[in-house]
C-alpha cells in the first residue's frame, strides 16, 4: 500500500505559460532525493484545470519516465464528465501510472447516487488502483462517508484523499472502512492528526517545498511516534497555513521560485502571488528553515 508523504507536485511553467518539462524532471529528482514517498502528477496543485488533454498526458508520461519505478506515480484523472474521467484514467494506465486520483465532479453538483455511479463507472472501465478525492471547498460537491463506504466494495477503489479538513470525517471513515482501505489527508494542517488516528499518509502541498520534513513527519506519525511527529509538524505549521493565503498553487509556486527550483510561470486565471503576501510567505519559509 502507498503511504507517507505523497507530493501533489506543481507543474513548472515558463513565464509565457508553456510547460517546463526540464524543470519538472529536476523537481522529481529533487523529491526522490529528499525522501518523498510518491509523486502525484496533474492534481489541483498541478493546475489540471488549465492543461489540455495532450499536455495532461505529456505530464503523466514525463513523470512515469523520470521516476522510473523509484516511487509510485499517481496521476490526477478526475473530471466533471464521467466519460472524460474514464478516458484520462485509461490513458494514465496506458502510460504506466501506478494509480489514479479522481476528484469529485465539480460545478455540476451531482447527488450522492450520481457520485456513486460516476466513480463506479470509472472503476468498472479501467483496471487500475483508484483514490477518490474529496475537496468540497473547491468542487462544491461533498462525497459523504456513506457513499465512500459503498464504493469501498469495488476492488479498484483503494483509498480516499480527504481534503475536508474535518478530523471527525476522517475518524468516522477510519472506524467504519476496511483496514486495507487507505485514508490519506488532503489538508496539510490536519494531516498529522489523521495519520495518528490511522491514516496512511498525506497528499501534500507543503511537501513541494519541505519534502524531507514532510517525509519524516509522516514516518513518525504513521509509526505512532507522537512527540517527534508533533515537533516536526510544529516547525511546518506556518507553511501549512500560509501556503493558502491565496488559492493553491499560487503561493507554493512563488516559494518554489524563491528557492530557485522553478520559474515563475503560472496560467490564467491564476496569477502570481500578490506582493502583500511575499513577506508572510518568506517568514513561514524561514520558520521551517527552507529559505
Residues 6+ apart with CB under 8 A from 166: 190
- Quote the pLDDT of residue 227: 98
* Residues acting as catalytic residues: 133, 161
Q: CATH number of the domain at 4-225, please?
A: 3.20.20.70
Which stretch of DSSP H or E encloses residue 163? Answer: none
Other CB atoms within 10 Å distance of the CB of residue 173: 22
Q: What is the DSSP letter of 19?
A: B
Could you state, in order of their start, the residue ranges of all structural domains in the chain? 4-225
From its phi and psi, is residue 12 left (phi > 0), alpha (psi between -120 and 50) or beta?
Answer: beta
Per-residue confidence of the chain (291 residues) as pLDDT tens digits? 799 999 999 999 999 999 999 999 999 999 999 999 999 999 999 999 999 999 999 999 999 999 999 999 999 999 999 999 999 999 999 999 999 999 999 999 999 999 999 999 999 999 999 999 999 999 999 999 999 999 999 999 999 999 998 899 999 999 999 999 999 999 999 999 999 999 999 999 999 999 999 999 999 999 999 999 999 999 999 999 999 999 999 999 999 999 999 999 999 999 999 999 999 999 999 999 998
C-alpha–C-alpha distance, residues 111 and 114, integer Å: 5
- Quote the pLDDT of residue 82: 98
- Quote the pLDDT of residue 1: 78
* Helical segments of the chain, H only: 21-34, 53-67, 82-95, 112-125, 136-139, 145-151, 167-176, 188-196, 211-223, 226-242, 250-258, 278-287
Cell numbers standing for residue 33:
532525493
Amino acid at each position: 500500500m502507498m503511504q507517507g508523504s505523497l507530493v501533489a507536485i506543481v507543474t513548472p511553467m515558463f513565464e509565457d505559460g508553456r510547460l517546463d518539462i526540464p524543470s519538472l524532471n529536476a523537481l522529481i529528482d529533487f523529491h526522490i532525493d529528499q525522501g518523498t514517498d510518491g509523486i502525484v502528477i496533474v492534481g489541483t496543485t498541478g493546475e489540471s484545470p488549465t492543461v489540455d488533454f495532450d499536455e495532461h498526458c505529456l505530464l503523466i508520461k514525463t513523470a512515469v519516465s523520470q521516476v522510473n519505478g523509484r516511487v509510485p506515480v499517481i496521476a490526477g484523472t478526475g473530471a466533471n464528465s464521467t466519460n472524460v474521467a474514464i478516458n484520462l484514467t485509461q490513458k494514465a494506465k496506458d502510460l504506466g501510472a501506478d494509480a489514479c486520483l479522481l476528484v469529485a465532479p465539480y460545478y455540476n453538483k451531482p447527488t450522492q447516487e450520481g457520485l456513486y455511479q460516476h466513480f463506479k463507472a470509472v472503476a468498472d472501465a479501467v483496471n487500475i488502483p483508484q483514490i477518490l478525492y474529496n475537496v468540497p471547498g473547491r468542487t462544491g460537491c461533498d462525497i459523504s462517508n456513506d457513499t465512500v463506504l459503498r464504493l469501498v466494495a469495488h476492488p479498484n477503489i483503494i483509498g480516499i484523499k480527504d481534503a475536508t479538513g474535518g478530523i471527525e470525517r476522517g475518524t468516522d471513515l477510519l472506524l467504519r472502512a476496511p483496514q486495507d482501505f487507505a485514508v490519506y489527508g488532503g489538508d496539510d494542517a490536519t494531516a498529522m492528526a489523521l495519520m495518528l488516528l490511522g491514516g496512511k499518509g498525506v497528499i501534500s502541498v507543503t511537501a513541494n517545498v519541505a519534502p524531507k520534513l514532510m517525509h519524516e513527519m509522516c514516518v513518525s506519525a504513521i509509526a505512532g511516534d507522537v512527540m517527534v511527529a508533533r515537533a516536526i509538524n510544529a516547525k511546518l505549521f506556518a507553511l501549512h497555513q500560509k501556503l493558502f493565503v491565496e488559492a493553491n498553487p499560487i503561493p507554493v509556486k512563488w516559494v518554489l521560485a524563491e528557492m530557485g527550483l522553478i520559474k515563475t510561470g503560472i496560467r490564467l486565471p491564476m496569477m502570481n502571488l500578490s506582493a502583500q503576501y511575499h513577506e508572510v510567505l518568506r517568514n513561514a519559509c524561514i520558520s521551517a528553515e527552507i529559505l
